[in-house]
Structure 1
Amino acid sequence: MAADPATIEALLQAALDPTRLAVRDDSAAHAGHAGAASGGGHYDVLIVSERFGGHSRVARHRMVYDALRELFPSQIHALAVNAYTDQEYQSREATRDATRNSQT
Protein backbone atom coordinates (compact mmCIF):
# COMPACT_ATOMS: atom_id res chain seq x y z
CA MET A 1 0.00 0.00 0.00
CA ALA A 2 1.44 3.36 -1.06
CA ALA A 3 1.62 6.28 1.32
CA ASP A 4 -0.84 9.14 1.10
CA PRO A 5 1.08 12.31 0.12
CA ALA A 6 -0.70 14.09 3.00
CA THR A 7 0.91 11.64 5.44
CA ILE A 8 4.34 12.35 3.96
CA GLU A 9 3.70 16.09 4.24
CA ALA A 10 2.56 15.82 7.87
CA LEU A 11 5.64 13.85 8.91
CA LEU A 12 7.99 16.27 7.15
CA GLN A 13 6.19 19.30 8.61
CA ALA A 14 6.54 17.90 12.12
CA ALA A 15 10.20 16.94 11.78
CA LEU A 16 11.68 19.74 9.66
CA ASP A 17 9.36 22.77 9.93
CA PRO A 18 9.64 23.61 6.22
CA THR A 19 8.78 27.01 4.77
CA ARG A 20 7.94 25.32 1.47
CA LEU A 21 6.91 21.72 0.88
CA ALA A 22 5.58 19.91 -2.16
CA VAL A 23 5.07 16.15 -2.42
CA ARG A 24 4.32 14.65 -5.83
CA ASP A 25 3.15 11.06 -6.21
CA ASP A 26 4.96 9.61 -9.26
CA SER A 27 3.72 6.05 -8.66
CA ALA A 28 1.64 5.87 -11.84
CA ALA A 29 4.76 6.43 -13.93
CA HIS A 30 6.30 3.32 -12.37
CA ALA A 31 3.37 0.91 -12.67
CA GLY A 32 4.57 -2.59 -13.37
CA HIS A 33 8.08 -1.84 -12.13
CA ALA A 34 9.34 -4.88 -10.18
CA GLY A 35 10.41 -2.78 -7.22
CA ALA A 36 6.90 -1.43 -6.82
CA ALA A 37 5.43 -4.91 -6.41
CA SER A 38 5.48 -4.47 -2.62
CA GLY A 39 2.92 -1.71 -3.02
CA GLY A 40 5.22 1.11 -1.96
CA GLY A 41 4.88 4.29 -3.97
CA HIS A 42 7.31 6.56 -5.79
CA TYR A 43 7.41 10.18 -4.62
CA ASP A 44 9.20 13.42 -5.38
CA VAL A 45 9.70 15.88 -2.52
CA LEU A 46 10.68 19.54 -2.69
CA ILE A 47 11.40 20.79 0.81
CA VAL A 48 12.80 24.12 1.98
CA SER A 49 13.85 24.40 5.62
CA GLU A 50 16.34 26.40 7.60
CA ARG A 51 17.14 23.17 9.46
CA PHE A 52 19.19 22.17 6.40
CA GLY A 53 21.62 25.04 6.95
CA GLY A 54 25.21 23.84 7.39
CA HIS A 55 24.34 20.29 6.31
CA SER A 56 25.59 18.52 3.20
CA ARG A 57 23.21 17.25 0.54
CA VAL A 58 23.63 13.71 1.87
CA ALA A 59 22.90 14.81 5.44
CA ARG A 60 19.76 16.63 4.27
CA HIS A 61 18.53 13.52 2.51
CA ARG A 62 19.16 11.52 5.68
CA MET A 63 17.09 14.03 7.65
CA VAL A 64 14.18 13.57 5.23
CA TYR A 65 14.53 9.77 5.21
CA ASP A 66 14.69 9.73 9.02
CA ALA A 67 11.46 11.75 9.21
CA LEU A 68 9.75 9.21 6.92
CA ARG A 69 11.38 6.08 8.35
CA GLU A 70 8.09 4.46 9.39
CA LEU A 71 6.87 4.49 5.77
CA PHE A 72 9.82 2.58 4.29
CA PRO A 73 9.63 0.13 2.53
CA SER A 74 5.96 -0.80 2.88
CA GLN A 75 4.49 2.57 1.82
CA ILE A 76 7.42 4.29 0.09
CA HIS A 77 9.54 2.40 -2.40
CA ALA A 78 11.40 5.34 -3.97
CA LEU A 79 11.86 8.94 -2.94
CA ALA A 80 13.47 11.78 -4.90
CA VAL A 81 14.51 14.60 -2.56
CA ASN A 82 15.27 18.22 -3.39
CA ALA A 83 16.21 19.88 -0.09
CA TYR A 84 17.20 23.55 0.22
CA THR A 85 17.55 26.34 2.74
CA ASP A 86 15.39 29.42 2.09
CA GLN A 87 18.35 31.32 0.66
CA GLU A 88 19.32 28.44 -1.66
CA TYR A 89 15.77 28.06 -2.89
CA GLN A 90 15.39 31.79 -3.57
CA SER A 91 18.68 31.79 -5.45
CA ARG A 92 17.59 28.75 -7.46
CA GLU A 93 14.28 30.39 -8.40
CA ALA A 94 16.01 33.67 -9.36
CA THR A 95 18.36 31.74 -11.64
CA ARG A 96 15.43 29.90 -13.24
CA ASP A 97 13.55 33.17 -13.76
CA ALA A 98 16.59 34.79 -15.35
CA THR A 99 17.03 31.80 -17.66
CA ARG A 100 13.36 31.89 -18.69
CA ASN A 101 13.50 35.64 -19.32
CA SER A 102 16.65 35.34 -21.46
CA GLN A 103 14.97 32.72 -23.63
CA THR A 104 12.03 34.93 -24.55
Structure 2
Amino acid sequence: MSMRDKIEAKLKLALRPESIRVEDESAKHAGHIERHGHADPDGDTHFRVWIVSDMFAGKSRVECHRMITDLLAEEFDAGLHALAIHSSTPAQSA
Protein backbone atom coordinates (compact mmCIF):
# COMPACT_ATOMS: atom_id res chain seq x y z
CA MET A 1 0.00 0.00 0.00
CA SER A 2 1.36 3.41 -0.94
CA MET A 3 1.99 6.11 1.65
CA ARG A 4 -0.84 8.14 0.08
CA ASP A 5 -3.24 5.23 0.54
CA LYS A 6 -2.10 4.68 4.14
CA ILE A 7 -2.63 8.35 4.98
CA GLU A 8 -6.09 8.40 3.42
CA ALA A 9 -7.17 5.13 5.05
CA LYS A 10 -6.06 6.17 8.55
CA LEU A 11 -7.70 9.58 8.34
CA LYS A 12 -10.94 8.13 6.94
CA LEU A 13 -11.13 5.54 9.70
CA ALA A 14 -10.39 7.91 12.58
CA LEU A 15 -12.01 11.16 11.44
CA ARG A 16 -14.93 9.97 9.27
CA PRO A 17 -14.51 12.93 6.92
CA GLU A 18 -17.23 14.37 4.73
CA SER A 19 -14.51 14.80 2.13
CA ILE A 20 -10.81 14.09 1.87
CA ARG A 21 -8.16 14.55 -0.79
CA VAL A 22 -4.54 13.47 -0.41
CA GLU A 23 -1.96 14.55 -2.99
CA ASP A 24 1.62 13.34 -3.26
CA GLU A 25 3.81 16.41 -3.80
CA SER A 26 7.11 14.54 -3.42
CA ALA A 27 8.24 15.28 -6.97
CA LYS A 28 8.20 19.01 -6.18
CA HIS A 29 10.73 18.39 -3.39
CA ALA A 30 13.19 16.05 -5.11
CA GLY A 31 16.16 18.42 -4.70
CA HIS A 32 15.36 18.96 -1.04
CA ILE A 33 15.21 15.22 -0.45
CA GLU A 34 18.53 14.63 -2.20
CA ARG A 35 20.32 17.45 -0.34
CA HIS A 36 19.08 16.50 3.11
CA GLY A 37 18.62 12.76 2.74
CA HIS A 38 15.30 12.74 4.56
CA ALA A 39 13.56 10.13 2.51
CA ASP A 40 13.27 8.08 -0.63
CA PRO A 41 13.91 10.23 -3.73
CA ASP A 42 11.28 8.18 -5.58
CA GLY A 43 8.44 9.81 -3.63
CA ASP A 44 6.08 9.06 -0.77
CA THR A 45 7.63 11.80 1.39
CA HIS A 46 5.70 15.07 0.92
CA PHE A 47 1.91 15.26 0.92
CA ARG A 48 -0.92 17.77 1.03
CA VAL A 49 -4.25 16.86 2.66
CA TRP A 50 -7.61 18.60 2.36
CA ILE A 51 -10.03 17.18 4.90
CA VAL A 52 -13.51 18.21 6.04
CA SER A 53 -14.77 16.55 9.22
CA ASP A 54 -17.21 17.18 12.06
CA MET A 55 -14.44 15.91 14.36
CA PHE A 56 -12.78 19.34 14.05
CA ALA A 57 -15.76 21.22 15.53
CA GLY A 58 -14.76 23.42 18.45
CA LYS A 59 -11.05 22.86 17.90
CA SER A 60 -8.37 25.34 16.91
CA ARG A 61 -6.39 24.87 13.72
CA VAL A 62 -3.41 23.73 15.80
CA GLU A 63 -5.55 21.13 17.59
CA CYS A 64 -6.89 19.83 14.26
CA HIS A 65 -3.41 19.57 12.78
CA ARG A 66 -2.12 17.85 15.92
CA MET A 67 -4.94 15.31 15.67
CA ILE A 68 -3.86 14.48 12.14
CA THR A 69 -0.12 14.33 12.81
CA ASP A 70 -0.70 12.16 15.89
CA LEU A 71 -2.77 9.75 13.79
CA LEU A 72 0.06 9.54 11.26
CA ALA A 73 2.95 9.00 13.72
CA GLU A 74 3.82 5.62 12.17
CA GLU A 75 3.91 7.14 8.70
CA PHE A 76 6.28 9.90 9.86
CA ASP A 77 8.50 7.22 11.41
CA ALA A 78 8.39 5.31 8.10
CA GLY A 79 9.59 8.21 5.90
CA LEU A 80 6.77 10.74 5.63
CA HIS A 81 8.73 13.98 5.79
CA ALA A 82 6.21 16.80 5.29
CA LEU A 83 2.45 17.15 5.42
CA ALA A 84 0.56 20.31 4.44
CA ILE A 85 -2.86 20.23 6.09
CA HIS A 86 -6.05 22.05 5.10
CA SER A 87 -8.65 21.06 7.70
CA SER A 88 -12.15 22.37 8.27
CA THR A 89 -15.60 21.46 9.48
CA PRO A 90 -18.48 21.10 7.03
CA ALA A 91 -19.82 24.49 8.21
CA GLN A 92 -16.45 26.17 7.60
CA SER A 93 -16.14 24.72 4.11
CA ALA A 94 -19.63 25.78 3.01
Q: TM-score, normalised by structure 1?
A: 0.78
Q: Alpha carbons of 1:48 and 1:74: their partners in 2 closer, same or farther (altered >3 Å)?
A: same
- Gaps in structure 1 of 5+ consecutive residues: 91-104
Residue equivalent to 2:83? 79
Alignment of 1:1-104 (within 5 A): 3-33=2-32, 34-35=35-36, 37-39=38-40, 41-90=45-94
Q: TM-score, normalised by structure 2?
A: 0.86
Give the superposed CA RMSD: 1.5
Shift of 1:44: 0.2
Question: In terms of Rg, which structure is larger?
Answer: 1
Once superposed, which parts of structure 1, at least 4 consecutive aligned residues long, lie more than 4 Å away? none
Deviation string for 1:62-96 (max 9, x for gaps)? 01111111111433100000000001011xxxxxx
Shift of 1:30: 0.3
Deviation string for 1:11-31 (max 9, x for gaps)? 001111101000000000000
Question: Identity of counterpart residues, as a percentage?
Answer: 42
